[in-house]
Structure 1
Amino acid sequence: MDQGASLGEEFQLLREYLARLSDQRHRRGLVHPLEGVLSLTVLGLMCGCPSLSAIYRFGDIHPQLLSRLGLRRSPSVQTLSRLLGMVSVGEVRRVLLEFVLALEQRRGHEITTAALDGKTLRGVREDGTQLKALCVFSREGLAALDQVAMGNHFEEPQAAQEWIEAVASHCPGLEMLTGDALYADTNLAQAIVDQGKDYTFKLKKTNPDSTTT
């Protein structure tokens, strides 16, 4: 299959999943379809747009793209801010996870192993502080499955526990999670056991909690 055609089909698949998100607006008088705005935002971010104003300009200079997304004009910065603020983060996480699982199945990848790793989100700040997240990566398809927001590096075990308890069961076929020595944590170990799974930890002297786990 031609790579360009394949990418186009995969983006169309993403649009189908974005269309599942709840639109809290009254249907009367709607100008911009939510799925179209979100799709434009995704494309803008993929093309390096660092801000909402850059996403607006990106759409404004690509009118042929807007028509394909069902948009009559590029959404203003105010519209982008308002619509993105209305979308449920939890619902977005769920829909994107469903999309990635469907995408990996389409590519012939069975997700059995995932890696947990804390990352600082480049260019993403709140009150002047760069945000951090625990990222969950599929080892088979090298795809990002999910993210859990956290305050600092030492909150990774807590974020991992949250993900295991709330999300891991939505990944059928997932058999193994890997992480570094920081995850030698008592509460995380208990969460794994509560899921009916087993664990083994790598111990390091730099993690004093590991000796009591």
Structure 2
Amino acid sequence: QGNRILSDQRLGFRAFAFGTDRSVAMTEAPLIDSFAEIEDPRHPRNTLYPIEEILLLAICGAISGADDFVSIAEFGEAKIGWLRGLLPFEHGVPSHDTLTRVFGQIEPSEFERCFRAWTRRVEEETDGQVVAVDGKTLRGSRDRASGEGPLHLVEAWACGQELMLGQRRSEDGANEIETIPELLEMLTLEGCIVTIDAIGCQTNVAETVIGAGADYVLRLKDNQSGLRADVERLFERQLDFGFGPGHTDVDAGHGRVETRRCWTVDVAGKGLVDESRWPGLQSVALVETERFVAEPQAEAGPVEGETETEHRYLISSLEADAEKILEASRRHWQIENGLHWVLDVAFEEDHSQVRTQNAAENLALVRRLVASAVKQDDRVDAGTKNKRKRAGWDDDYREHLLQNL
């Protein structure tokens, strides 16, 4: 019973060949096909647990609510019979020390390469897709004993598909300006709109995006003080002549009303800003966000509350289309709300004590893989945290989630 074989229809995993006397009949799966290409970094004498079993255990454990190597090993002990329906696991499951050691030996760039091979297989048509790029620090990974700072990752998130596209380590969290172009060069971005916060508003980033056949929407702040001053003056002059209609959208709920207005100006070839430094620059935008938060009302009557107004300036290689640029700007925050917040709340990533840099980076990639798979599932109407709990309790639901991979 421990060596049962799940039917081809229940799981989408490819059989791993261990020789004529060791194989499991399963259907083809892009994820496992991709990860099977990872080179085992261990010496042949230290391969009691095959690398594919270790990777499968980590992914299944993470889907089922395990947030670190200790809990992944515990999941494996509890579900060894189920796991043997996927791969042999002849020697049982590895300890958390073994998992930490092996994940620390796998070269993150190798793991990342295989992950990106998988994302390319599952990506949909990219035209118009917003790809948000942002950084995240894993605060619990700081190793004070060795003086190592926390791991900082720069990540790309396909907003429409809610799919992690790639990540790259930013040493000391201080060189995102160099890391962002390196990450972008690894991705297939043709037809996409790349959005980045102010730290990515750099000429080399714009050049990389345009070179990839994509467009950019970049936020302006004081790190480009000259350009920001030019854009602010441009919109001040526009006020004297009156803005065009622009575009407005409104969100309301839970006592909050948020109104966003966007105006754009076509700057291409007009000398209105120093566009010669910015490849592909066609337009600049002003986004005004007005938030009204209602105060609790004891009695019926006029609604009172506080209103906050914020102005943001953007530059873009898109034409001066206020609706399109505002939508891209809004979608950018999905990487914060749809990925980073989920990782901290549902995966407790900031509390993870995995401090070996390679192990922390590789496990972070597993979390992001699982977050993508869980968010794309609509079988259970629940948040990511509760879906993972359900997967830990329910073998059928876990198998269903694995099909998303």
Under TM normalisation by the shorter chain, which class is it? Answer: 0.7 to 0.9
Name the residue aligned to 1:211. Answer: 226
| Residue identity in the other structure for 1:79 | T
| Residue identity in the other structure for 1:156 | E
Name the residue aligned to 2:163. Answer: 143
Alpha carbons 2:192, 2:214 under 8 Å: kept: no
Deviation per residue, 1:139-172 (Å, 9 max, x gap)? 33110011122233x643322122123x03xx26
Name the residue aligned to 2:143. Answer: 127
Which moves more between the two structures, 84-93 or 128-137?
128-137
Alpha carbons 2:133, 2:156 under 8 Å: kept: yes
Name the residue aligned to 2:77. Answer: 60
2: distance between equivalents of 1:196 and 1:51?
Answer: 39
Alpha carbons 1:137, 1:146 under 8 Å: kept: yes
| Residue identity in the other structure for 1:208 | N
Deviation per residue, 1:59-100 (Å, 9 max, x gap)? 001112331233120112232122222212101101001112
1: distance between equivalents of 2:206 and 2:48?
Answer: 50
Alpha carbons 2:196, 2:217 under 8 Å: kept: no
Number of residue pairs aligned between Structure 1 and Structure 2: 198
Deviation per residue, 1:20-75 (Å, 9 max, x gap)? 11123455674221111111012212223232221111100111233123312011
In the TM superposition, what are the counterparts of 1:1-213 in structure 2 within 5 Å?
8-9=11-12, 12-27=29-44, 30-67=47-84, 68-72=86-90, 73-104=92-123, 109-112=124-127, 113=129, 114-121=131-138, 124-128=140-144, 129-150=149-170, 151-152=172-173, 155-165=175-185, 167-168=186-187, 171=188, 173-192=190-209, 201-204=218-221, 207-211=222-226
1: distance between equivalents of 2:177 and 2:155?
Answer: 12
Per the normalisation by structure 2, the TM-score is 0.43
Alpha carbons 1:183, 1:201 under 8 Å: kept: yes
Of structures 1 and 2, the one scoring higher in RCO (CA 8 A, sep 6+) is: 2
Alpha carbons 2:36, 2:52 under 8 Å: kept: yes
| Residue identity in the other structure for 1:160 | I
- Please report how far the alpha carbon of residue 102 of structure 1 lies from its aligned counterpart in structure 2 after TM superposition: 1.0
1: distance between equivalents of 2:212 and 2:35?
Answer: 30
| Residue identity in the other structure for 1:131 | L
- Please report how far the alpha carbon of residue 174 of structure 1 lies from its aligned counterpart in structure 2 after TM superposition: 4.7
Instruction: Give the CA RMSD over aligned residues.
Output: 3.1
Gaps in structure 2 of 5+ consecutive residues: 1-7, 15-28, 228-276, 278-405
2: distance between equivalents of 1:132 and 1:53?
Answer: 23
Q: 1:30 to 1:118 in 2, by over 3 A?
A: closer
Which moves more between the two structures, 43-52 or 143-152?
43-52
Gaps in structure 1 of 5+ consecutive residues: none
- Please report how far the alpha carbon of residue 191 of structure 1 lies from its aligned counterpart in structure 2 after TM superposition: 4.0
- Please report how far the alpha carbon of residue 193 of structure 1 lies from its aligned counterpart in structure 2 after TM superposition: 5.7
Q: Which has the higher helix share?
A: 1
Give the fraction of aligned pairs with identical amino acids, expressed as a percent: 27
Greater Rg by CA: 2
Alpha carbons 1:136, 1:146 under 8 Å: kept: yes
Moved beyond 6 Å, runs of 4+ = none
Alpha carbons 2:194, 2:209 under 8 Å: kept: no
| Residue identity in the other structure for 1:57 | E
Alpha carbons 2:156, 2:165 under 8 Å: kept: yes
| Residue identity in the other structure for 2:102 | L
2: distance between equivalents of 1:120 and 1:31?
Answer: 34
Q: SS at 1:100's partner residue?
A: helix
